[in-house]
């Protein structure tokens, strides 16, 4: 279990992480989601004791990371950039790190095989592709067979087969009762892989939720109505304090009410409806809505509602 409370990190004038509190429980995959530059990597570095929090604290299984001895047995981490010397072979890289925790050669061979790098184990890392580098990082994380695993953007640079492999691996690790914390800026990936979500933007916690909860609630769900008398209906709705937006295709998007309310209002006023339906936001849309305000840089004309990326 990872517990962060009031975690902040300030670099000069910028507050990279701002009063962040969340919990990553064991036995499920927790996705750590946020736009690029929202403070995910900084937070992960603070969990690993690499960066010191400006304020607040974070513990792994109840203890600050810095107190761990032979920490590979407790926590395995895939770090954001390839944290390896390009002149060293994959085998030597793993061997050197394994030695530091008293882990033997047999385990090095095992993890090399597990991540599918045994064929290239003697090759120098400088020639590794991004995907091979990710596999190597995962091999490092698995060395000590730890109960807590953290992967920073693990699917970056992986081919579809690699993405599927990570997804299966991560789920099986959580199914074994381990704590699995996975960062990504891709909601679509998290929707498939993660059970729980910690969503941040600009260093602040936006929500801590589950995939199911996120899909169920929120303003992203709306009622769609098509009617030849849309202006009349819109006026009627607005008169009752209901939020309505007219879309370019002539439909109305109505939020905050059930479809039967709209239907009844139309019937009472004798308006003909051609379509009346509830539209569920995709996870991607919900994510965009949640993080929309927190994105530092975005394209000026981005219309989030038009996103149709199904999970």
Partner 1 sequence: MSATTANETPNPAQRGVWSEFADVLRSEFCKLRSVRSSFWTLVATVVFNVVFAALVAIFIPPHLSTADLATTDPIRLSLAGLHLSQIAIGVLGALVITSEYSTGMIRATFTAVPRRRMVLAAKVIVLATAALLVGTISSYAAYFTFQGFLSGDKLTSSLGDPGVLRAVTGGGLYLAALGLLGLGLGIIIRSSAGTIATLFGLLFVPTILVSVLPHSVQATIAPYLPMNAGEQIFIATHHEANTLGPWTGFGVFSLYAAIAIVIGFATITRRDA
- Confirm or reject binding of residue 86 to partner 1 (CB under 8 A): yes
**Site for partner 1 (CB under 8 A): which residue of 82, 185, 202, 222?**
82
Contact between residue 262 and residue 291 where contact means Cβ atoms under 8 Å apart: no
Q: Which is nearer to partner 1, 46 or 252 (CB)?
A: 46
Task: Please report, as residue ranges, which positions from 109 to 128 form the binding site for partner 1 (by CB under 8 A).
Answer: 110, 114
Q: Which is nearer to partner 1, 126 or 217 (CB)?
A: 126
Contact between residue 102 and residue 144 where contact means Cβ atoms under 8 Å apart: no
Give the distance between the most distant pair of CA atoms in the chain.
Answer: 79
**In the 8-state DSSP scheme, what is residue 158?**
-
Q: Which is nearer to partner 1, 22 or 91 (CB)?
A: 91
Integer Cα distance of 58 and 56 in angstroms: 7
- Confirm or reject binding of residue 1 to partner 1 (CB under 8 A): no
- Confirm or reject binding of residue 68 to partner 1 (CB under 8 A): yes
- Confirm or reject binding of residue 67 to partner 1 (CB under 8 A): yes
Give the number of other Cβ atoms within 10 Å of residue 304's Cβ.
Answer: 16
- Confirm or reject binding of residue 72 to partner 1 (CB under 8 A): yes
- Confirm or reject binding of residue 106 to partner 1 (CB under 8 A): yes
Contact between residue 294 and residue 202 where contact means Cβ atoms under 8 Å apart: yes
Q: Which is nearer to partner 1, 84 or 262 (CB)?
A: 84
- Confirm or reject binding of residue 83 to partner 1 (CB under 8 A): yes
Contact between residue 235 and residue 229 where contact means Cβ atoms under 8 Å apart: no
**In the 8-state DSSP scheme, what is residue 124?**
B
**Site for partner 1 (CB under 8 A): which residue of 29, 33, 97, 191?**
97
3-state SS string over 32-61?
EECCCCCCHHHHHHHHCCCCCCCEEEEEEC
Taking contact as CB under 8 A, which single stretch among the options 49-57, 199-207, 213-221, 272-280 is the one that binds partner 1? Answer: 49-57
Residue with tokens 């003909």: 272
Q: Label residues 231-269 b or e (16+ Cβ within 10 Å = b).
A: eebbebbeeeebebeeeeeebbebeebeeeebeebbeee
**Site for partner 1 (CB under 8 A): which residue of 34, 144, 154, 162?**
144
CB 274 to partner 1: min, Å: 57
- Confirm or reject binding of residue 87 to partner 1 (CB under 8 A): yes
- Confirm or reject binding of residue 187 to partner 1 (CB under 8 A): no
Binding residues for partner 1, rule: CB under 8 A, are 45, 48-52, 65-75, 77, 79, 81-89, 92-93, 95-97, 99-104, 106-107, 110, 114, 140, 142, 144-145, 147, 176
């Amino acid at each position: 279990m990872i517990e962060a409370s009031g975690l902040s990190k300030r670099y000069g004038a910028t507050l990279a992480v701002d009063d962040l509190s969340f919990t990553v429980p064991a036995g499920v995959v927790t996705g750590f989601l946020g736009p690029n530059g929202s403070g995910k990597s900084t937070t992960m570095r603070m969990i690993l004791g690499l960066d010191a929090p400006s304020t607040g604290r974070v513990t792994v299984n109840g203890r600050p990371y810095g107190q761990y001895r032979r920490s590979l047995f407790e926590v395995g981490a895939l770090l954001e950039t390839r944290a390896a010397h390009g002149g060293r072979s994959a085998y030597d890289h793993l061997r050197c790190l394994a030695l530091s925790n008293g882990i033997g050669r047999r385990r090095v061979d095992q993890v090399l095989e597990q991540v599918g790098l045994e064929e290239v184990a003697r090759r120098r890392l400088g020639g590794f592709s991004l995907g091979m580098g990710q596999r190597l990082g995962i091999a490092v994380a698995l060395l000590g067979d730890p109960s807590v695993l953290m992967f920073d953007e693990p699917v970056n640079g992986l081919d579809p087969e690699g993405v599927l492999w990570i997804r299966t691996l991560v789920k099986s690790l959580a199914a074994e009762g381990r704590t699995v914390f996975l960062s990504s800026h891709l909601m679509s990936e998290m929707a498939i892989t993660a059970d729980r979500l910690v969503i941040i933007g600009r260093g602040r916690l936006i929500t801590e939720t589950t995939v199911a909860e996120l899909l169920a609630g929120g303003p992203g769900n709306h009622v769609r109505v098509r009617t030849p008398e849309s202006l009349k209906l819109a006026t009627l709705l607005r008169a009752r304090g209901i939020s309505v937006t007219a879309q370019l295709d002539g439909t109305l998007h109505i939020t905050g009410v059930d479809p039967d309310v709209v239907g009844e209002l139309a019937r009472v006023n004798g308006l003909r409806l051609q379509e009346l339906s509830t539209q569920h936001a995709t996870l991607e849309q919900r994510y965009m809505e949640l993080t929309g305000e927190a994105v530092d840089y975005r394209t000026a004309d981005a219309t989030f509602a038009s996103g149709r990326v199904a999970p």
